[in-house]
C-alpha cells in the first residue's frame, strides 16, 4: 500500500471493505477492495477473487477498469477505477419525480447495452445487473458497469443454475428454478431501463413470495406517454416472460431506436479519456520488504527464535551460536560455502535451489533469496583452474512480509512459494508459462496464481520448465511445457495456467515431484504414479523382474501410470528425487533405491552388478538409514539418520562438494562447522546443492 493513500471507507460488504484511495504516482483516485482471503474457505476465496478475474478479462470504456491486485496484511487488495459520479440508483433518487428526457435515457441505456455486449462476447454472465451496480463518471454522461463479484464465466453456451442476484431484478426462469443464460441479463437490463423511464423499480413486493408472484406475472405499471412507442415496445420485449422470445444483446442493438442513439454515443465517446492499463503485479513492496527487521513479522521472529549460546572450548567464554547455517556448493565451488543470513537468530526450515536462484523459508514464514552479484566471474566458467568463492547476498522477498510462507520450490529461473493458508504465489521468468498466470510475462515480485485461489494448495514442485501442485483435497494441477507428457494431461501441449490432472481411480495424491522432463506423484498409500520421459527407466515404468532384465520398456507416458519396475510395487515409499536421467527413492523404513542411467556413477551402485534399467541399492557406508535425498543433473546427495551427508556421481565443477572427480560410490561430504549439527533440508538442481543445518546440541536461549 505504499503507492496508495487511503482517503475514506466508501462501502462494506460480506467479503470486505471498499476504500477510496489516491495513487501517489499520479494523484489519481482509485477504489481498493480489501478482502481478507486468509481467513476464508476456498469457496469464499473463489467468490472474492471472481471480480478481479472477470474484470481482468474485460476491456471496455463502459466497464470499470481493473488495475492490479496484491497482498497486504493477509488480505487481497483489488485496485480498480473510481467512478466519481456515484451510481445510477443515487442519480435517479436525487431527481425526485422529474423524469429523464428520452434522449438522456437512450444515452445511458446504449452504453449499458454496449458494455453487456462486450461481457456476453466473453461468454460471461453478469448475474447482478441493477442500478446500484451501474456507475457514472464525474459529469454523469459516461456509464461504467461494475460489481462482477458473482459473475459466471460459461465454458460453452451452456446454462447456469445457481440462483444469485438481487431479487427485484431476477428473471422468471430463476424464480422457477430453471436453468438460464444471457437472456437473464437481458431481463435485468430491461428492469434497469424501466427504472430509467419511471424512476421506480419494475417489480417490488412486501416480501419475497409477493415479489416472485409479480415477476412470474410479468405485469408492470405503464410508463409515461412522453416516451415513444418504439421505446415502450423495446422495454416489453426485454421483459418477456419467455426467455426464448427475449431479444439477444445484438438484436437489441439492431433496433432502429437504439441505432440512432448508438451513432451519437459513438461520436461522443471519442471524447472520453481512456487511460492506458497499468501493469498488474499481484504483490507490492511493503515497508520492510528490503530485508530489514521492521514490521510485525520480524518482531515475531525475535520473540519466537532466539539465537542459542554455547561455550567456546578454547576461551571458556560464551558465544552466540546461530540457529541455522546455510551451505552451497557446485557451479565451480568445490567445497561447501556458508551463506550469510540477515540475522544471527534467523532460523531456516526449508531450502530450494534452481539453476540461478537459491531460496529458503524461515521459521516465522519469511522467504529469503540469496543473490550473487558476481555474475560473469571467470572462476564460474568451465576450465577455470583457481576457485574463487562467489559472494552471495541475502534479501527478503519483497512484498510478502504480510503473509506467512511455509514452502518454496525453485525451477529454472522462476520460483513458487506457498503460504500457510494454501495460497500459491510465483515470480521470475515467465518462459513456458511456468508462472501459471495465463501468459508468458516475467514477474519480479511474487504474484498470486489466481486460478488456484479457490483451492488450498498443500504442496508444489517446480521442474526446469513445468510445475505441479496438489491441494488438501488431493486434486492435482499442472502447467508449463508439456512435451514428453510431463504434465500428465494425456497430451504434449503447453499450458500457461493450471490444468486439472486426471488421477487414476483409487489413488489419492499427497505429494508431487517435478524433474527435467517428467513428474513423479506419491499417493497416500505410498505408491508412485509417473508421467513424462522414462529415459533409462528413471520413472520405473518398465516391466522388470528380480531375476530377469527388462521385459517391456516404456519410453514415455503422457498420462499418469503406476511405477511397475521390480521392486517398486512392493515398497512403501516415503519420498523421491529426480535427476536428468536417474531418480532416487527413499522408503518408509529408510531404505534407498536408485534407478536410471549410471553413466557417471549417479546410482551409487557397483555397476558390474547392476542389470540395465533395474533398481539398485546405493552402497551407503554401514548401511545407514536414509532420511532425505536429492538428485542433481548427474549426481545424488543423501542425508542419513546419523547426521551424515553423502554424495556420489559426476564430480566436475564441484557437484559432489569435494575436489574429487566422478565417484561411483557414496562418499561423505564434510561441512566446515565448529559445532555438531543436523542437516534439515537439502535441494539439488543442475550442478549445484543447497542445504540448511541446525545445531545438534540442546541450546540455552540468549537473554
If you write DSSP's letter for every residue of 185-214 in order, what string do you get? HHHHHHHHHHHHHHSS-S---SSHHHHHHH
Pairwise CA distance, residues 275 & 556, whole Å: 50
For residue 367, give the 3-state DSSP assignment. strand
If you write DSSP's letter for every residue of 451-511 in order, what string do you get? GGTTS-EEEEEE-SSEEEEEETT--EEEEE--GGGTT-SSS---EEEEEEPPPPTT--EEE
Task: Indicate if 128 belongs to the active site.
Answer: yes
Contacts of 95 (CB under 8 A, 6+ apart): 199
> How buried is residue 259: exposed, middle or buried, by Cβ count under 10 Å (0-12/13-18/19+)?
exposed
Pairwise CA distance, residues 535 & 613, whole Å: 9
Residue 533 has phi, psi (to 5 degrees) of -75, 130
From 128, 185, 412, 628, the catalytic residue: 128
For residue 35, give the 3-state DSSP assignment. strand
- Grid cell digits, residue 584: 532416487
Residue 692 and residue 326 in contact, taking contact as beta carbons nearer than 8 Å:
yes
- The enclosing H or E element of 358 equals strand 358-362
Question: Which one, of 502, 474, 516, lies nearest residue 558 by Cα?
Answer: 502
Q: Establish how many alpha carbons lie within 13 A of residue 690's alpha carbon, considering only the half-sphere containing its beta carbon.
A: 25
Torsion, CA 525, CA 531, CA 534, CA 540, rounded to 10? 10
Cβ density class 127-162: b for 16+ within 10 Å, e for less: bbbbbebbbbbeebbbbbbbbbbbbbeeeeeebbee
Say how far residue 428 (Cα) sits from the centre of its chain: 13
| Other CB atoms within 10 Å distance of the CB of residue 565 | 24
Looking at the annotation, which residues are catalytic?
128
Amino acid at each position: 500500500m505504499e503507492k496508495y493513500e487511503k482517503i475514506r471507507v466508501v462501502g462494506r460488504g460480506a467479503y470486505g471493505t471498499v476504500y477510496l484511495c489516491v495513487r501517489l504516482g499520479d494523484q489519481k483516485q482509485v477504489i481498493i477492495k480489501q478482502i481478507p482471503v486468509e481467513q476464508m474457505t476456498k469457496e469464499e476465496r473463489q467468490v472474492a477473487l471472481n471480480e478481479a478475474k472477470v474484470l481482468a478479462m474485460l476491456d471496455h470504456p463502459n466497464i470499470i477498469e481493473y488495475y492490479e491486485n496484491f497482498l497486504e496484511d493477509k488480505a487481497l487488495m483489488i485496485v480498480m477505477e473510481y467512478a466519481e459520479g456515484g451510481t445510477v440508483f443515487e442519480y435517479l433518487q436525487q431527481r425526485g419525480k422529474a423524469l429523464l428526457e428520452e434522449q438522456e435515457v437512450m444515452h445511458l441505456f446504449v452504453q449499458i447495452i454496449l458494455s453487456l455486449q462486450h461481457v456476453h462476447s466473453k461468454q460471461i454472465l453478469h448475474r447482478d445487473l441493477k442500478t446500484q451496480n451501474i456507475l457514472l463518471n464525474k459529469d454523469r454522461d459516461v456509464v461504467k458497469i461494475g460489481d462482477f463479484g458473482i459473475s459466471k464465466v460459461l465454458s460453452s453456451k451452456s446454462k447456469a443454475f445457481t440462483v444469485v442476484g438481487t431479487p427485484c431484478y431476477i428473471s422468471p426462469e430463476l424464480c422457477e428454478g430453471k436453468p438460464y443464460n444471457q437472456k437473464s441479463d437481458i431481463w435485468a437490463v430491461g428492469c434497469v431501463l424501466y427504472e430509467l423511464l419511471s424512476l421506480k423499480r419494475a417489480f417490488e413486493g412486501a416480501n419475497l413470495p409477493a415479489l416472485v408472484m409479480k415477476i412470474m406475472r410479468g405485469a408492470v405499471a405503464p410508463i409515461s406517454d412522453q416516451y415513444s412507442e418504439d421505446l415502450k415496445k423495446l422495454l416489453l420485449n426485454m421483459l418477456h416472460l419467455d426467455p426464448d422470445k427475449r431479444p439477444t444483446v445484438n438484436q437489441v442493438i439492431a433496433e432502429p431506436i437504439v441505432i440512432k442513439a448508438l451513432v451519437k454515443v459513438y461520436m461522443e465517446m471519442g471524447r472520453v479519456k481512456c487511460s492506458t492499463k497499468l501493469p498488474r503485479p499481484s504483490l507490492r513492496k511493503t515497508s520492510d520488504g528490503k530485508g530489514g527487521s521492521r514490521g510485525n513479522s520480524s518482531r515475531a521472529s525475535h520473540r519466537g527464535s532466539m539465537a542459542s549460546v554455547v561455550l567456546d572450548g578454547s576461551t571458556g567464554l560464551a558465544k552466540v551460536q546461530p540457529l541455522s547455517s546455510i551451505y552451497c556448493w557446485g557451479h565451480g565451488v568445490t567445497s561447501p560455502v556458508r551463506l550469510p543470513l540477515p540475522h544471527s537468530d534467523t532460523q531456516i526450515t526449508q531450502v530450494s535451489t534452481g539453476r540461478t536462484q537459491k531460496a529458503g523459508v524461515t521459521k516465522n514464514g519469511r522467504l529469503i533469496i540469496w543473490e550473487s552479484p558476481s555474475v560473469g566471474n571467470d572462476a564460474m566458467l568451465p576450465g577455470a583452474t583457481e576457485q574463487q568463492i562467489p559472494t552471495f547476498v541475502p534479501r527478503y522477498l519483497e512484498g510478502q512480509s504480510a503473509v506467512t510462507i511455509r514452502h518454496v520450490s525453485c525451477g529454472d529461473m522462476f520460483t513458487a512459494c506457498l503460504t500457510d493458508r494454501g495460497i500459491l504465489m510465483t515470480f521470475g521468468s515467465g518462459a513456458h508459462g511456468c508462472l501459471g498466470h495465463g501468459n508468458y510475462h516475467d514477474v519480479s515480485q511474487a504474484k498470486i496464481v489466481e486460478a488456484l485461489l479457490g483451492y488450498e494448495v498443500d504442496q508444489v514442485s517446480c521442474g526446469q520448465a513445468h510445475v505441479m501442485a496438489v491441494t488438501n483435497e488431493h486434486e492435482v494441477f499442472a502447467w508449463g511445457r508439456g512435451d514428453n507428457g510431463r504434465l500428465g494431461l494425456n497430451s504434449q501441449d503447453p499450458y500457461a495456467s493450471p490444468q486439472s490432472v486426471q488421477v487414476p481411480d483409487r489413488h489419492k495424491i499427497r505429494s508431487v515431484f517435478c524433474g527435467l522432463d517428467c513428474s513423479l506423484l506419491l499417493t497416500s498409500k505410498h505408491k508412485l504414479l509417473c508421467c513424462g520421459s522414462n529415459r533409462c527407466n528413471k520413472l520405473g515404468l518398465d516391466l522388470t523382474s528380480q531375476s530377469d532384465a527388462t521385459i517391456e520398456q516404456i519410453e514415455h507416458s503422457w498420462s499418469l501410470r503406476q511405477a511397475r519396475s521390480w521392486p517398486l510395487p512392493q515398497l512403501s515409499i516415503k519420498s523421491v528425487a529426480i535427476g536428468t536421467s536417474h531418480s532416487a527413492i527413499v522408503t518408509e523404513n529408510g531404505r534407498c533405491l536408485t534407478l536410471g542411467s549410471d553413466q557417471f556413477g549417479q546410482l551409487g551402485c557397483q555397476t558390474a552388478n547392476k542389470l540395465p534399467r533395474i533398481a539398485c541399492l546405493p552402497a551407503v557406508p554401514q548401511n545407514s538409514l536414509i532420511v532425505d535425498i536429492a538428485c542433481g543433473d548427474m549426481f545424488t546427495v543423501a542425508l542419513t539418520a546419523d547426521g551424515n551427508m553423502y554424495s556420489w556421481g559426476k564430480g566436475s565443477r564441484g557437484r559432489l562438494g569435494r575436489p574429487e572427480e566422478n565417484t561411483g560410490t557414496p562418499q561423505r561430504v564434510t561441512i566446515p562447522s565448529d559445532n555438531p549439527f543436523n542437516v534439515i533440508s537439502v535441494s539439488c538442481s543442475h550442478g549445484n546443492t543447497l542445504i540448511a543445518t541446525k545445531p545438534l546440541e540442546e541450546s540455552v536461549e540468549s537473554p
